[in-house]
Amino acid sequence: MAAKKAGPKRILILGGGYVGLYAALGLQRKLRANEASVTVVDPQPHMTYQPFLPEAAAGSIEPRHVVVPLRQVLRRCHVLNGRVQEIKHADRTVTIETAAGEREQLSYDVLIVALGSVARLLPVPGLAEEGIGFKSIGEAIWLRNHVMSRMDQAASTTDPDVRRRKLTFAFVGGGFAGVEALGELEDMARYATRFYENIDEKDLRWVLIDAADRILPEVRPTLGAYTVRALEKRGVEVYLSTLAKSFENGHVVLSDGTEFDSDTIVWTAGVKANPVLKSSDLPLDDRRRVRTHPTLQVVDHPEVWAAGDCAGVPDLSRTEEDPNAVCPPNAQHAVRQARHLAKNVIRWLRGKELKDYHHKNLGSVASLGLGRGVADTLGIKLKGWPAWAMHRAYHVKAMPTFNRKVRITMDWLLGGLFRRDILSLGQLHDPHAEFQRASRPD
């Protein structure tokens, strides 16, 4: 069903991540003057290019370069910083809490749901208090400073137990996010030991835990097994088919009886659709993603569209083997769906026929640290340096905006010239401390 032609439509995009940014870019490029207004709502003023978070954490890329400022690139859209709290499609309203802390109701004619996913936490004692996720630029910066500051602390203590705890880093979840973050940070920390008189490479303990019997489900099992071997060669302890039972007070207990203390627990054990959707009146599937047609229109609501991690989009490339197949939550689909969605919204506004989204997975690439990687793409399996080069080439090409592509390439060139920067800016996490100390009476 096509939109009735009337005055300018109000298009509201919820979320300014991959889908939100690319859909808005597509719309601002194609919309005629006065055809529609576009508003993007996101708590952050930027889109985050998540596949580069591990490199940002390891200091190979300047963190600011892996985010794209929404206001700078969405010149023909309105950007509103706020958090969606409720979607009431029956009333065509969305309630948000603005960045200033006020509640506001927004109405729309066309709604695009691009709210992504959040970390899927399990009821493990101590997880919420001791753990950290790895989905945002804030977490990546924090983790880098945290790892480096644990090395500084370990270097300055004579207590062997405290030192061991500081130098033990645990990652739960062997998907791309966990494996890449561990691979990059381990590489960085090992390089940093050269500059510590009393920390040796073998003093660092890196642990990867996964409930499944393999890691990297995104690539073929042989590449997953290769990655385990490559990590173990570097001294990483990999626990497969193992559950984390407790993290209370930083004391890690695993289902096979292993126990150790760690100041660093990174939780990357999967994602779930944004929980805001649960309280909306939009149709959800069994994994609480918004159900869409292959056109990316939400089932039963032609004026609502959804894509990316928060949407259950039929995967037409796999429907022959599985009629209920849904696109996996990854950047490859998010970007393509967003572009497709923008074109379909324009077609719909102009009363033209819509097209179905169809994309066959091209495979995956992952970095495991400088010069190391795995790739399984277009039927070709690659390991080591060629896979790592492919990872960088693919992602810099996919990175939005020419500005960011150039800045990231410059970061890599400078990194090649001057080696890694091992600086920790831990003061960022408590910038008032020095000022407060100075304000104490003499």
Closest to 341 measured CA to CA, from 114, 98, 43, 164 = 114
- Kindly state the smallest distance separating residue 11's Cβ from ligand FAD, in Å: 15
Distance from C-alpha of 113 to C-alpha of 111, rounded to nearest angstrom: 6
- Kindly state the smallest distance separating residue 191's Cβ from ligand FAD, in Å: 21
- Kindly state the smallest distance separating residue 297's Cβ from ligand FAD, in Å: 17
Distance from C-alpha of 190 to C-alpha of 171, rounded to nearest angstrom: 17
Q: Which is nearer to ligand FAD, 83 or 288 (CB)?
A: 83
Distance from C-alpha of 47 to C-alpha of 316, rounded to nearest angstrom: 28
Burial group, residue 34, by CB count within 10 angstroms (0-12, 13-18, 19+) = exposed
- Report strand pairing: 264-267 vs 131-132: parallel
Q: Which is nearer to ligand FAD, 14 or 148 (CB)?
A: 14
Number of residue whose CB is nearest ligand FAD: 17
- Kindly state the smallest distance separating residue 19's Cβ from ligand FAD, in Å: 4
- Kindly state the smallest distance separating residue 175's Cβ from ligand FAD, in Å: 8
The HSE-up count of residue 302 (CA atoms within 13 Å, CB side) is 11
Q: Which is nearer to ligand FAD, 163 or 383 (CB)?
A: 383
Q: Which is nearer to ligand FAD, 53 or 110 (CB)?
A: 53
HEC sequence for 364-415: EEEECCCCCEEEEECCEEEEHHHHHHHHHHHHHHHCCCHHHHHHHHHHHHHH
Q: Which is nearer to ligand FAD, 236 or 310 (CB)?
A: 310
Residues contributing to the site for ligand FAD (CB under 6 A): 14-20, 41-44, 50-51, 53, 83-84, 114-116, 134-135, 176-177, 274, 276, 308-310, 329-332, 334
Question: Residue 197 carries which side chain, given as an amino acid letter?
Answer: E
DSSP 229-255: HHHHHTT-EEE-S--EEE-GGGEEEET
Q: Which is nearer to ligand FAD, 66 or 192 (CB)?
A: 66
- Kindly state the smallest distance separating residue 278's Cβ from ligand FAD, in Å: 12
Question: Is the distance from CB of 374 to CB of 216 less than 8 angstroms?
Answer: yes
